[in-house]
Structure formats: structure tokens, C-alpha cells
Amino acid sequence: MLHQTGKAMIIGKPFLTSRQIQNKVKELANRISDDYEGKDIIAIGILKGAFMFFSDLVKLIQVPMDIDFIVASSYVKTQSAGEMEIHADLREDIRGRHVLLIEDIVDTGITLNFINKLLLERSPASLKICTLLDKRSCRQIDTDLDYVGYQIPDHYVVGYGLDYENKFRNLPYIAVFKEENIK
Ligand code: PRP
């Protein structure tokens, strides 16, 4: 159980442990390294949620890469708002580059669909998508996913980059969050 002082937020036992996540990250990195052998890529993280997955994953990918980030948000509390906001765009030009887009979770698919379209308009040589978590049952807009860590049921999950009101991102594991956990 994790208690964050001040608000007495309580999170239960891990849904995915740190060890499970790290094993999955290795597996994904190996597949990506094989698929991109001989190529130079640009890895793009969608912030804030992807920061931890992104940094663990890129450390293990064995092809030359540049990195960049796009800062976007769509959620309001535990509901997906359906509205997208880009807070900070890429700094790099992706024209003619092999882009690997890295996301922590695909839920409704609105965020990914929006960013995917935005980046495709910039004429990359290729664009593949890697997500740690896929909540397929919640999908409103479908986008093909090239690398998926875990398919998960419709739980609101926090930790390993994922938040509730910007809290819990620093947990090294993923846990299910319930609003009644806030007293
Ligand atoms: C979360 C998550 C994904 C997105 C997935 O980001 O990190 O980017 O929602 O949801 P969707 O498939 O329904 O669009 P959020 O908008 O909460 O911003 P954050 O990354 O700063 O947490």
C-alpha cells in the first residue's frame, strides 16, 4: 500500500510489478532492435505519461537513434475528455526519418490518432507505434499498433508514468486506482 502524505491517497498492490514491466520492456526492445536493424530511427515519446517507459525502452534498443518528445493531453481526472491539447511540439524535423512513436497507454485512441495524423503530415519515411498498455475495450478510434506490451481490461491504472491528477507517476510499478481510495 502506498500512502502519499497530505491527501491520504491509497493505492493497492501492483497490477504489474516492476519486474514484469522490465521483462516486457526488454522483450519489446529486442523486437524493435531486430525490426530496425541497419536503420537509424527517431524515437518520439508522448509526454507526460510515456516518460518512464520511454527512458527504459530506449536504453535497450540497439540501433542508432535521435530522441524527441511531444507533450499532449486528453484526460480530465478518470474520464477521457475527448479533447486534445498539444502543449509542446517536436523540435526535430521528421521528414524522411523512421519514426518510432512511444506511448504509455492507448485507451480511447484519441491521443494516438491525433498525433499519428499530425506526424504523418510531416512525411516521415515510416512511422511505427509502440505502447506499453492497450485498453482495447475502450477504443473509440482505431489506429494500428505495431508493438504492444500488455492488453489490459478497463481499469484506471496509475504508476510508471501514468497519473491520477498528476500524482503517482513516479511509482516503479502499475496499480489499479479507484477514486474511493481518496478519503
Ligand atoms: C494519457 C496517456 C495517453 C492518453 C491515452 O495521457 O498518457 O497519452 O491519455 O488516452 P486516449 O487513448 O483515451 O487518448 P493524458 O492525456 O492523461 O496526459 P499525460 O500523458 O500528461 O498524463
We report the CATH number of the domain holding residue 50 as: 3.40.50.2020
Q: State in Å: Cα 165 to ligand 1 middle.
A: 12
State if residue 133 touches ligand 1 by the CB under 6 angstroms criterion: no
Look up the domain containing 152 and give its range. 24-178
Identify whether 150 is part of a domain: yes
Q: Is 134 in the pocket of ligand 1 (CB under 6 A)?
A: no
Q: Report if residue 35 sits inside a domain.
A: yes
Question: Looking at the domain assignment, is residue 106 inside a domain?
Answer: yes
Structural domains of the chain, count: 1
Whether this prediction's pTM lies above 0.95 is answered by no
Phi, psi of 89 (to 5 degrees): -90, 175
Instruction: Evaluate: CB of 113 within 6 angstroms of ligand 1.
Output: no
Q: How confident is the model at residue 70 (pLDDT cuts 50, 70, 90)?
A: very high
Half-sphere exposure of 139 (CA within 13 A, CB side): 15
Known active-site residue 134: no
* Percent of the chain clearing pLDDT 70 (strictly above): 88
- Residue 140 in any domain: the answer is yes
Asked whether residue 15 is assigned to any structural domain, the reply reads no
Does residue 37 fall inside a structural domain? yes
CA distance 37 to 13: 38
Domain assignment present for 2: no
Asked if the structure places residue 3 within a domain, the reply is no
Cα separation, 116 vs 107, whole angstroms: 15
Question: Looking at residue 12, what DSSP letter applies?
Answer: -
- Is the CB of residue 79 less than 8 Å from the CB of residue 140? no
Amino acid at 65: M
The cell 514491466 sits on which residue? 21
- The average pLDDT across 62-72 equals 97
Angle, in degrees to the nearest 10, between helices 51-60 and 18-35: 50
